[in-house]
Amino acid sequence: MSNSDEDTSPYEMLGVTMESTEQEIRTAYRQRSLKVHPDRNRGNPDAARKFHELNQAYELLLDPLRRLALDAKVRLKQARKDRFAKFDNKRKDLVNELEERERAFKKAKLDKEEQQKEVWRENEKVMEEGRLMRERREKDLLAREQEALDQAQREEDKLGSELNPPSLGSLDTTVRLKFPLSSQPNLKSKEAISTLLAPFGSVDVADILISLKPAPPKKPKRATVLVPFKQIGDAFAVVCASEREERGLKDVEVSWAESKEPELIGWLKKIGKLGAGWQEKKDTPTAESSRSPSGSAPHTDPDAPFSSFPSTFPDLSGSVPTVTAPTVPGLDYEAVTLMRMRQAERERLEREIREQDAQDDS
């Protein structure tokens, strides 16, 4: 019979027998504890473990109930040993074989349980990784959705800014005319300027500013004129017709009063309500550019009224879905406040023109 699985008996650890009294057990414990105490065995790594086992055996033997159970177990083990000693060799081998099989079965059971625990731990690990991956994917999806919403909001804001027309400036309907008096000798009065530009649209005759520059040596006289139109479309039309002889503007250079295109014109181009049909080169006029806004027939009669709106300019008198140009504030030029602002700007421009003329003369 193999003793490899047998544990050391508490009686053996304390050096007592089953018949020993409680006092004998206490005495034996004191003697043994002095020998195995860790303080007296500093170089022995097993001293702490042996001292702990001695304490457990001592406590067990001092507990009557636990000692009774131990005694029964010891007697049973001793009886098995006695029986085993009476067996012949063949029977002893059979018992040893059965015990070996039992130990192998227990070991296999323990190994299987350990494998199951390992599989469970692996499953837990995989589930945790899957949970983390799912959380990352959900977070990435939310981030992409938020980015899409932000992009849509930015596009909506951009579209809203494009659809909101800018306000009309005080000089957005005013144009600047520059021409030599040698080619346009009759353009020296407000009435003459108004008559020249009448085909393009209505102008404020009283607010026209004319600056006649003295003639430098060997140079013809030049004139600079500021002309306020009542509608920005009329001003745009005359700027497009700058120096075009068929429009009666031979050698007459027309530009915006502030030397830059008004924001409202740029906005209309940007939203596609003002095409490039009138952005033609002034030195290459075509029959198409002479057509009326409806495109039905060219202007062959020089005395016929000329529309201030090119064919691609939006109709500011009607409604346009989504982007209604006629609702642009400031197109009504009769407002008193706007008139005062225009007058102040004209006075400033007139001063600048006179100062520039004086610098050119010097």
Pair 240, 336 in one domain: yes
Q: Are residues 205 and 346 in the same domain?
A: yes
CB 188 within 8 A of CB 212: yes
Task: Examine the fold and report which residue of 86, 109, 144 is the final residue of a domain before the chain moves on.
Answer: 86
Q: How far is CA 136 from CA 144, 147, 179, 309, 355, in A?
A: 12, 16, 72, 59, 70
Q: Is residue 200 included in any domain, yes or no?
A: yes
Per-residue model confidence (pLDDT) at position 163:
64
Task: State how far the Cα of 67 lies from the Cα of 61, in Å rounded to an integer.
Answer: 5
- Structural domain boundaries, residue 65: 10-86
Single-letter amino acid, residue 326: P
- In this predicted structure, what is the pLDDT of residue 333? 40
Using the structure block, give the residue that is written with the tokens 């692996």.
Answer: 122
Q: Which pLDDT value is given to residue 314?
A: 43
Number of domains comprising the chain = 2
DSSP string, 222-273: EEEEEEEBSSHHHHHHHHHTTT-GGGT-TT-EEEETTSS--HHHHHHHHTTS
CA atoms of 327 and 73, how far apart (whole Å): 107
Query: Which of 86, 120, 151 delimits the end of a domain?
Result: 86
Q: How confident is the model at residue 323 (pLDDT cuts 50, 70, 90)?
A: very low
Answer whether residue 53 is part of any domain: yes
For the cut 60, the answer to whether the pLDDT of residue 2 exceeds it is no
Tell me the residue type at 330.
G
> Could you tell me if 196 and 343 lie in one domain?
yes
Pairwise CA distance, residues 252 & 179, whole Å: 5
Residue 145 is assigned to a structural domain of this protein: no
Inside any domain, residue 124:
no
Give the mean model confidence (pLDDT) for residues 263-292: 54
Total number of residues shown for the chain: 362
What is the spatial distance between Cα 346 and Cα 190, in angstroms, rounded to a whole number?
Answer: 15
Q: Do residues 181 and 187 lie in contact, with contact meaning Cβ atoms separated by under 8 Å?
A: yes
Chosen domain end from 86, 115, 140: 86
Strand extents, DSSP E, the chain: 174-180, 209-213, 222-228, 253-256
**81 and 197 fall within a common domain:** no
* Residue 146, token pair as written in the block: 């938020």
pLDDT band for 40, please (50, 70, 90 cuts).
Answer: confident
Q: What is the CATH number of the domain that holds 243?
A: 3.30.70.330
pLDDT exceeds cutoff 80 at 115: yes
pLDDT number for residue 361: 66
287 and 180 inside one domain: yes
∠200-280-161 over CA atoms, to 5°?
80
Is the pLDDT confidence value at 233 over 70? yes
Does residue 100 sit within a domain?
Answer: no
Whether residues 246 and 350 fall in one domain: yes
Q: Is the pLDDT of residue 25 over 80?
A: yes
In a domain, 121, yes or no: no
Q: What is the pLDDT of residue 45?
A: 86
pLDDT reported for residue 182 = 79
| The predicted structure's pLDDT at residue 220 | 57
- State the pLDDT confidence band at 315, using cuts at 50, 70 and 90: very low
pLDDT over 60 (residue 271) = yes
pTM above 0.85, yes or no: no
* β-pairing verdict for 174-180 and 222-228: antiparallel
Domain assignment of residue 138, yes or no: no
Among the listed ranges 12-26, 98-112, 150-164, 228-242, which one has the minimum average pLDDT value? 150-164
User: Residue 118: inside a domain, yes or no?
Assistant: no
